[in-house]
Amino acid sequence: MTYNFAFLDEDTKRMLRRSLLKAVAIPGYQVPFGSREMPLPYGWGTGGIQVTAALLGPDDVLKVIDQGADDTTNAVNIRRFFARVAGVATTERTVDATLIQTRHRIPETSLREDQILVFQVPEPEPLRTLEPREAETRTLHALADYGLMHVKLYEDIAQYGHIATSYDYPVRVDGRFLTSPSPIPKFDNPKLHQSPALMLFGAGREKRLYAIPPYTEVESLAFDDHPFEIQQWEHQCELCGSGESYLDEVIVDDRGTRMFVCSDTDFCGQRRAEAQA
């Protein structure tokens, strides 16, 4: 038997697109949708895969990254899936992609208006760890009552002197909805703000979609006397020498020697190619 283009049937894609339009119309709002059971496991990108499947056309060029890298096994597997069921062109180059599906990172290379970034989201509800009941968190969002989160951040400051959240750092989208940026490091949060590219978020297991439309205000929560700050390294990438990118720490021997390299493999590779040229 053969599957439909990009696996999902056209009715399902239409349902997804309608949900995505609603998500774009209400930035940061979690839209419940009829998430389908996909042939890849929940928690492994089923939300992102459904969004990608709903958007892909035959002329699209797809890039898939996990932890910023194109060659991590799950990214490879998702790219293989779409090459198989949609036959679309794939790329590892950020600038060549029309659609980028990502897990845990935003590419270092600035995105453009003609690109879409699709995030895989494990837990769409930023309040979930503070309030497990879904009926309750939906009410809090309706009332824009985000006191719980502010108190949590305040308690961090009272206890540690600074906010102790390093990834999945909560943001307020368009001055309204408290939103999870997915577990990207807070280093990437500034890239959400006024992004020229459309950013779509898919949570398959939790059955929610949300969006940050292009050129939208995205504010990382903070206090006047404790402004938002991102991670910084004393190191530079040992492969390309970048001092501005997010670095992964790699243990290279059994004496615990560390090496710092870019998590964004395409960014790092391009820089090295330029340096050699």
By beta-carbon proximity to other proteins, the closer residue of 42 and 154 is 42
User: Position of tokens 């990214």?
Assistant: 75
Q: State the Cα–Cα distance between residues 26 and 11, nearest whole angstrom.
A: 23
By beta-carbon proximity to other proteins, the closer residue of 161 and 227 is 161
What type of residue is 25? A
Scan residues 115-174 and list those touching other proteins (CB under 8 A): 122, 132-135, 160-162, 164, 166-168
Residue 186 found at the interface with other proteins (CB under 8 A): yes
Residue 22 found at the interface with other proteins (CB under 8 A): no
Residue 109 found at the interface with other proteins (CB under 8 A): no
Q: State the Cα–Cα distance between residues 177 and 145, nearest whole angstrom.
A: 10
Q: State the Cα–Cα distance between residues 270 and 93, nearest whole angstrom.
A: 9
Which range in 87-95, 193-201, 220-228, 261-269 contacts other proteins by CB under 8 A? 261-269
By beta-carbon proximity to other proteins, the closer residue of 9 and 96 is 9
What type of residue is 35? S
Scan residues 228-257 and list those touching other proteins (CB under 8 A): 231-235, 239, 246-250, 252, 256
Residue 194 found at the interface with other proteins (CB under 8 A): no
Q: State the Cα–Cα distance between residues 120 and 183, nearest whole angstrom.
A: 9
Q: Which residues does the annotation mark as catalytic?
A: 28, 237, 240, 262, 268
Residue 89 found at the interface with other proteins (CB under 8 A): no
Q: State the Cα–Cα distance between residues 262 and 277, nearest whole angstrom.
A: 20
Which range in 90-98, 102-110, 111-119, 218-226 contacts other proteins by CB under 8 A? 102-110
Residue 105 found at the interface with other proteins (CB under 8 A): yes
204, 37 in Cβ contact below 8 A? no
Rounded alpha-carbon distances, angstroms, from residue 110 to 115, 116, 124, 190, 195: 10, 12, 25, 12, 9
118, 106 in Cβ contact below 8 A? no
Beta carbons within 10 angstroms of residue 271's beta carbon: 19
Residue 38 found at the interface with other proteins (CB under 8 A): yes
By beta-carbon proximity to other proteins, the closer residue of 71 and 113 is 71
Q: State the Cα–Cα distance between residues 21 and 17, nearest whole angstrom.
A: 6
Interacting residues with other proteins (CB under 8 A): 3-4, 7, 9, 32-39, 41-44, 46, 66-69, 71-74, 76-77, 80, 103-105, 122, 132-135, 160-162, 164, 166-168, 183-187, 205, 207-208, 231-235, 239, 246-250, 252, 256, 258-259, 261, 263, 265
